[in-house]
Amino acid sequence: MSKNFTIVEDIMNKTENEIKNIKPISILLIGKTGVGKSTLINNVFREKLADTGIGRPITKHLRRITKEGVPIVLYDTRGLELNNEAQKEGLKEIFDTLSQGDKISSTGKIHLAYYCVNATSSRIEPLELDLIKKLSTKIPVIVVLTQSIGDQSKELKKYIEELNLPVSGVINVMAQKFIISNEISIPPYGLDELIEMSFQIIPEEQKRAFNNAQQVDIERKAKSARSWASKYIATSFGVGFMPIPFSDASILVPMQLTLLAHITAIFGISMDKATITSMLAAVGGTGGATYAGRYIVSNLIKLIPGVGTIVGGMISGATASIMTTALALSYIEVLTVIAKGEKDGKYPDLKNIEQLMKEKLENRLKKSTDLLEENSSTKHKKWKFWK
């Protein structure tokens, strides 16, 4: 086993453990058959969960969808008809689950419901209104008007809002590009509003999980990763950091791997070994598979212009922090690119990932000398970096 492999494995294992520690969020998707619940799931959350997740039937009409590495539990109702005797049975199953909790897992509580209504039908039945009211006594409900096209969908929204239902909101969405003809299609919209509203409703404890699982607001992922990394680095290299000699640079490696793993877990992104290898290759130079852990740090240091003369052979807290900050921010930028691509079904190729990481990192480190000089007199200023 090469050293390189070990490092990649290490990041992956650490990330996995981090994700296991995130308290999952549970969301119920409910609405008549064919309105677009599965389409919504596949577009709001990463990994096309409705198609690729493990769906365990809880009851005839209720499926529990999960996937390893994504901290979310979805309860998806299926084939729910609301116009006959069968509906009574279906609804009883759902409410039993809501009040008794989920017997399969200890997750139990469901935090939020998306009640889906097809906006093209331009009406909502009395039975549905009853159901929404009843649901709202158990959990927060957002009414999602799926496949919203044109004025009639806006009117439906207005109509439902004026009923003053005890819901958190009514939102028009188009979850997936809707093709009308060769020339005309309606781009997806409204999902950002849905995410924003969901964030306001869910318990504080579930926000990390929700941010990890959603794929609509990528900037939000990046922001929370940056904010965590900035604190972690300030704590690690701030007051009390003893300068270490270059020859011991590898002391920093485990810390930086922890940092990358934690960022990956906050961000929530499907990454395989190959992707992580590519990003590390960017740090390790052109050798790719041959570099060892300690080269990461020495390569980073080499990229900071004149760093040796500034700190006289020792790695100070300032140097370590500049180096680690550059690593964290570049990594977050590359994850952002990957996540955006993934959302559009395009995964950037590995050579591009490596190149991108290299560029971002070199740019940041090259620009860092003035920061170093600026900060050498005043010990623990906030870095300009974090802007």
Residue closer to ligand GTP, measured from CB, 50 or 281 = 50
Q: Which of 107, 152, 176, 369 binds ligand GTP (CB under 6 A)?
A: 176
38 binds Mg ion (CB under 5 A): yes
- Helix, strand and coil content of the chain, in percent to the nearest 5, comes to 60, 15, 25
172 binds Mg ion (CB under 5 A): no
Q: How many CA atoms lie within 13 A of 238 on its CB side?
A: 11
3-state secondary structure of 354: helix
141-146 and 169-172 strand pairing: parallel
3-state secondary structure 77-91: ECCCCCCCHHHHHHH
CB 81, min distance to ligand GTP, A: 9
Q: Which of 4, 26, 38, 375 binds ligand GTP (CB under 6 A)?
A: 38
CA Rg value for the chain: 25
270 binds ligand GTP (CB under 6 A): no
28 binds ligand GTP (CB under 6 A): no
Residue closer to ligand GTP, measured from CB, 26 or 264 = 26
Residue closer to ligand GTP, measured from CB, 37 or 46 = 37
CB 147, min distance to ligand GTP, A: 5
Distance CA 198, CA 52 (A): 23
DSSP E strands: which ranges in 47-132?
54-57, 62-67, 70-77, 112-118
CB 152, min distance to ligand GTP, A: 16
CB 35, min distance to Mg ion, A: 9
Residue 345 sits at the vertex; the CA angle it makes with 36 and 169, to the nearest 5 degrees, is: 35
Region from 8-16, 124-132, 172-180, 197-205 binding ligand GTP, contact rule CB under 6 A: 172-180
256 binds ligand GTP (CB under 6 A): no
Query: Site residues for ligand GTP, window 77-136 (CB under 6 A)?
Result: 78-79
Distance CA 107, CA 72 (A): 10
Q: Which of 95, 178, 241, 386 binds ligand GTP (CB under 6 A)?
A: 178
How many contiguous H segments (helices) and E segments (strands) does the chain have? 16, 11
Region from 36-44, 125-133, 150-158, 216-224 binding ligand GTP, contact rule CB under 6 A: 36-44
Distance CA 8, CA 4 (A): 6
Phi/psi at 260 (5° precision): -65, -40
146 binds Mg ion (CB under 5 A): no
Region from 35-43, 162-170, 261-269, 301-309 binding ligand GTP, contact rule CB under 6 A: 35-43
Binding region for Mg ion (CB under 5 A): 37-38
Binding region for ligand GTP (CB under 6 A): 33-39, 78-79, 146-147, 174-178
